[in-house]
Amino acid sequence: MLTGYLVVTNKEIENKLLIALGYIFSTIFWIGTFVLSYYFVDSHLDRFVEVAYIGLQKLVFSSFFAWLFYAASFKYGGSTSKYMVAKVFVPFSRLSYSIAMSEMLFIWYDITNSHQYFPADHYNEVILVSYIFLMCTALGFIVYLLFEAPSLNLIKIFIKPQTNISKVQIQRPEKID
């Protein structure tokens, strides 16, 4: 949502310093979430501090991805833009909305059913992220086939652009003698 809000309200950034600061802060946020997980998981802190860290970690980590997608959408991404437009991602381009909607369901399910917090430095996080990605892709594909594709096709059928023949003028070349 943050990326969509930035794209709609700000359009393009003309100041190169802001682009550089965006990359610097997003990199600090990305590295900071991994480094701070060692401190917060191994120490005996108050439960409130631990819960606050878990909540802020997701927000900071998602802001890193928000900047990446924002920068790539306006061609500030460099190698990130080249990676994201690779042909491997073309089949997933139609599923993006379905996956985004179904991913939140899996994350809520996982959060409500997990009784132990695993920081991103554990190998279990790789398994968990792979599981969420595969399940969201499968569920997103089913949602796309059942709901999005038929509704988009119905919209294309029923809402065609109306052209009035009297308003359409055929341009004929003038005869030059």
pTM of the model: 0.45
Q: What percent of the chain has pLDDT over 70?
A: 55
Looking up tokens 């695993």 gives: 118
Dihedral angle sign, alpha carbons of residues 104, 100, 148, 137: negative
Rg for the chain, CA atoms, rounded: 23
d(CA 125, CA 41): 14
Instruction: Give the model confidence (pLDDT) of 143-170 as tens digits.
Output: 778 877 787 778 778 776 655 555 555 5
19 Cβ contact list (under 8 Å, min separation 6): 13, 71, 76
Q: Which residues of 7-17 are buried (b: 16+ CB within 10 A; e: fewer)?
A: eeeeeeeeeee
Give the model's pLDDT for residue 175: 61
Do residues 23 and 71 lie in contact, with contact meaning Cβ atoms separated by under 8 Å? yes
Task: Please report how many Cα atoms fall inside a 13 Å half-sphere around the Cα of residue 157, on the Cβ side.
Answer: 6
- Mean pLDDT computed over 62-71: 76
d(CA 147, CA 149): 6
Confidence of residue 76 (pLDDT cuts 50, 70, 90): confident
Confidence of residue 7 (pLDDT cuts 50, 70, 90): low
Which amino acid is it at 143? V
Instruction: Give the model confidence (pLDDT) of 87-114 as tens digits.
Output: 776 666 655 555 665 566 666 666 656 6
Spatial CA neighbour of 9 closest among 96, 99, 86, 70: 70
Which amino acid is it at 4? G
Domain residues of the chain, as ranges? 1-85, 86-159
If 0-12 CB within 10 Å is exposed, 13-18 middle and 19+ buried, where does residue 74 land? Answer: middle
Confidence of residue 172 (pLDDT cuts 50, 70, 90): low
If 0-12 CB within 10 Å is exposed, 13-18 middle and 19+ buried, where does residue 19 land? Answer: middle
